[in-house]
Amino acid sequence: MFFHQGAPRLGEDALRTEPGLAGLRAAAAAHLSAAGQRQVATAVDMLAATEAQLGPLRHQLHDAARHLAGAKVLAARLYGPGRSPAGADRLAGRGGPVLLLPQGGPVHRARRHRALLRPQRTPGKLSRQGPPVLRWAVYEAGKTHARAAAPDHGYYAAVKDRKNGKRAALSEARKIVRQACPILAELGDDALTAA
């Protein structure tokens, strides 16, 4: 919207913070047509409604991440799950490691990570055999390696230059799963106990 009407580019935090949203509204009022201002106002209202619904979920994930042994260990040992990227931060915040805990079964099944990693037909995709929320969480955790401070940023950057950013994030996601599964297997059923 802003680009099409010649308005200046907004910062990345424009939709994440209250001052950013205030700046977005001010920029819309100063640079956009009446129709553009209505579109921006509608989008901001939709974001506020979504945020109101995600608030309780975020609180539950934060609470679980603070209390489950497996989530604490994953956040401490792995880069990515405990350092949520922007997209995951809006949904899960520091609750990201909770999403990596095994869903629907004993923790010792975590050794069977190959089912999640095995490509099906198209290379560069995660298998669709695991729960969608797990695939999403791992992919988002893999995207954290795009940051220069990430310990494996060099590999991420090399894959991104050779292929693309999506393939680089998928490569990092596979690494995270390969690292998380033995950790969870080591913890066993204690991963789901309160720490």
pTM of the prediction?
A: 0.60
CA distance 108 to 188: 6
DSSP secondary structure, 10-58, as one string: PPGGGGTSHHHHHHHHHHHHHHS-HHHHHHHHHHHHHHHHHHHHHHHHH
195 residues of the chain, pLDDT tens digit each: 666 666 667 766 677 788 888 888 888 888 888 988 898 899 889 988 988 888 888 788 778 777 888 888 888 888 876 544 333 343 344 445 666 666 544 444 544 555 555 544 455 555 666 677 778 888 888 888 988 988 889 999 999 999 999 999 999 988 888 888 888 888 888 888 887
Cα R_g (the chain), whole angstroms: 19
DSSP secondary structure, 166-187, as one string: HHHHHHHHHHHHHHHHHHHHHH
The sign one gets for the Cα dihedral 141, 143, 149, 151 is positive
Three-state DSSP at 194 gives strand
Which residue type does 72 have? K
Cβ atoms of 185 and 110 within 8 Å: the answer is: yes
CA distance 37 to 43: 10
Cβ atoms of 97 and 65 within 8 Å: the answer is: yes
The reported pLDDT for the residue numbered 156 is 94
How far apart, in Å, are the Cα atoms of 114 and each of 110, 117, 128, 175, 190?
10, 5, 12, 11, 22
CA distance 83 to 172: 14
The reported pLDDT for the residue numbered 13 is 65
